Structures are given as C-alpha cells and as structure tokens.
Amino acid sequence: MQRIVLVRDLGEGLTRTRVRIEGDDCEPDSLLADEMRQYLITNIANNPQLVACGSGPFQKMMMYHDNVKWIVEAEATRKAQ
C-alpha cells in the first residue's frame, strides 16, 4: 500500500489537498482483488487519518480499480493556513 499526498494552491487563500492510496497489484475480479479491497476498506475504517486531507477530514472520496490495483482518492478544499 502506498499513500501519496498532493497539495495545490488554488489562489484566493484556498488549497486543495488530495490523498491517493494505492493497493498492491491484483487482477480485477479476482480473489486477490477482493482481499485487497477489503484490506483497504478495513485500514481506512480503523485509521481515518489515512485519508485525512491536510488539517481535516476529506470532503469527497472514491474508490476504484484501474485494471492494475485498487485506488482510493480523497480530497478537500480549505482556506490556506
């Protein structure tokens, strides 16, 4: 599992923070893909800080399989601190 954080200055005192969590490689619709999906969901439920976006929680989150691995993307737009 890999966690990537990107912060973008939107101007006018706003920043957008995106958190991307990538699971291990797994074939779509396979037993391993099911296990990896459950692993990611469980880890996020047990540790919500994984998808925290800067100084607070996410405002939007989605999960999908890109035909190589499961990806969770969360984002929030806030006033810059």
**Which residues fall within 8 angstroms of residue 40, CB to CB, at 6 or more apart?**
1, 21, 23, 63, 70, 72
Q: pTM for the complete prediction?
A: 0.89
For residue 41, give both structure tokens.
């969901």
pLDDT by position in tens, the chain (length 81): 899 999 999 999 999 999 999 999 999 999 999 999 999 999 999 999 999 998 899 999 999 999 999 999 999 999 977
SS3 call for 13: coil
Q: Can you tell me the distance from the alpha carbon of 2 to that of 15, in angstroms, rounded to the nearest whole number?
A: 23
DSSP secondary structure code for residue 59 in this structure: S
